[in-house]
Structures are given as C-alpha cells and as structure tokens.
Amino acid sequence: MSSEYRCHFDNLLILDFEGTCEKDDHDYPSEIIQFSVCVLNTRDKIIREDVSFNKYVRPVINPKLTDFCAELTGIDQDTIDNARTFPEVYNQFCAWLKEHDFQEKRFAIVCDSRQDMWRLAQYQFLLNKQPFPTIFRQWVNLSLYYRQDLRMAQQQDAVHQSLIERMSAFYNIPNEGQAHNAMDDCSFLAKVTKRILDNGTFVNINESLKCIAGSRNVPFNVDPGWKSNFASSCKVLEAILPLVSFRMRDYNYEVNYGKCHYCFSPECTGLEHKQYPNYVYEQLKEPSVFAVTAGLMKE
C-alpha cells in the first residue's frame, strides 16, 4: 500500500442526489429532492465523519411525491413540504464549501455514475433557468473504476442488481444504509472510493460535459417503448439534453477544469449551438414531458 494516495485533489466530495420519479416512466420531469455529500480527505486518507452535507429539497413542478417515489426513497411528504427549494439549497451548499475551505480545483466530485451530473443536475438547472455551475461540469465516475477492477479480476458483472449492490459484493464492503437514501449511498460510496485508493489506483476526474459529441449527430430509430426502458430513455435524453457526458482520459485540472471540451468555453450551456434533434421529436408519439417542461421543445 502506498504511503500517499495517488490523487491530485486534497478532498473528494462524494455526492448523490435523489429525485422525483414515477414507476416505469423515464420521461418524468425529475427534480432533486435530496442533496447529500460525504468527504474523503486524500491527504490524511480518512473519510471525514465530522463534515457532511445533507439537505432535502422541495420540488416545484410536482410538489407532491408519487407513491412510488415515497416508497423508493423513504422520503415522506412532510419532509419535502418543509424543505427549501433547489436554488436555496444550492446556495447553502456553496456556503458549506466556503465554510470548510473546499476550494475549486482542490476538490473533485465523485458520483457512482454519470446520472447525477449529466441528467439530474443539468436538468435541475435548466428547470431553474440558471447557468450550470463550473464545479458540476466534471466528476469522478466511480463505476468506471469498478468495471476496471472487474476486468482485472476477470469477473463478469452481476445482473438484476443495482450498481451499489454489485459494488458491495465485489469489494466485500457491507452496504448498511437504506437503499435510495442519498446520504446512506454517499457513505457507502465513500468507503468504495477509499478502497480503490487504498489499492494504489490513481483516481482522477474521468467524465465531463460538452455541447457536441459525434454520436449526437447520428440519427437513430427511437424505441417506441423508450419511456419505460432505462437504456432506451438514456439514448433519447442524450439527444435532448444540451450537454452530453463523455469519457475523459488524462484529465488535467489546470487546463481542462470547467471548460466545455468541444467549444472550450467555460460559459457553454449547449443551448448556444441551437441543437434541436428534430429527428427524435418527429418519432415521438406524443411530446416528451421531460423536454417540454424544461423548455427544450415546443408542445
């Protein structure tokens, strides 16, 4: 085991969101309802038990949780009704960063996959008509390290299990929290991140956002059942959302931080390039609720 972690960043902020949802409906206009962060200090090689961020968020578009969402997340309606809206909670998060002296370029955000930043966060800021924050434009996708470790161990990924369940089994790290509770998920993912670092792996930002990717310019046939199929919905949403996630190799935080890696503008929102996937919208049997709600297409 190395005496120092192989990581450029002083702290890794393990982040997880929970959002509003409905069963078998991936066209649902999801709003963030729980915003949680755990801290892994890479210099002291510890998970900070004394510092964390955990706030519930009151949705505006669909303020009443669906029965499915309440059961899935364990979040009750009273908790949501008494929470602050996302812009207020995001401001609290920025104040929390400042309070604990977490400085940009000296920390990186860690997520279990691309969904939290590419889909949930990007969509939330579109709903709020706010610029997408620089600190959310790049992140460590933990699932890419997990898959790398699987390959090295010559193991096949399990099926019919959540990513967290599969990570728990592979790394032999018990997941003691409640499924789909953002704070519990963060706590578990922090342990996985530490295990990966303890194994001597170099951990760096490995995913980012940009306005244009080659795959977005290639028309495809929309699955008629895309709303109820996760993989098909991701393909549709990748065409609809202004910024697309992509794999970063050899990320240099001094050069790449906060920039769109297509147009290299730090202010790029993707909307400036007037991408409008007509070929997708023309195939939909009915307008996408996800797109219409965020103003990405006309009804």
The pLDDT of residue 276 is 74
The span from the CA of 139 to the CA of 14, in Å, is 10
Longest dimension (CA), the chain: 58
Residue positions counted in the chain: 299
Can you tell me the mean pLDDT for 185-193? 98
Integer-rounded Cα Rg, in Å, for the chain is 19
How many folded domains does the chain comprise? 1
Band (pLDDT 50/70/90 cuts) for residue 201 is very high
Point out the least confidently predicted range of 197-201, 213-217, 244-248.
213-217
220-230 pLDDT, tens digit per residue, is 999 999 999 99
Residue 5 lies in a domain: no
% of the chain residues with pLDDT over 70: 97
Band (pLDDT 50/70/90 cuts) for residue 274 is low
Residue 236 lies in a domain: yes
The span from the CA of 262 to the CA of 266, in Å, is 11
Residue 299 lies in a domain: no
Residue 36 domain boundaries: 11-293
Record the tokens describing residue 132, joined without a space. Answer: 């997408």
Residue 140 lies in a domain: yes
Distant-in-sequence, close-in-space partners of 219: CB < 8 Å, separation ≥ 6: 279
Torsion over CA: 170, 118, 37, 268 (sign): positive
Record the tokens describing residue 140, joined without a space. Answer: 């460590």
Record the tokens describing residue 35, joined without a space. Answer: 């915003």
Record the tokens describing residue 188, joined without a space. Answer: 């578990």
Q: Which residues of 100-123 are buried (b: 16+ CB within 10 A; e: fewer)?
A: bebeeeebbbbbbbbbbbbbbbbb
Band (pLDDT 50/70/90 cuts) for residue 275 is low
Q: How many helices (H) and strands (E) does the chain have?
A: 11, 7
Where does the chain show beta strands of DSSP type E? Answer: 11-19, 32-41, 46-56, 107-111, 138-141, 207-210, 244-247
CATH code, 278: 3.30.420.10
Residue 81 lies in a domain: yes
Residue 198 lies in a domain: yes
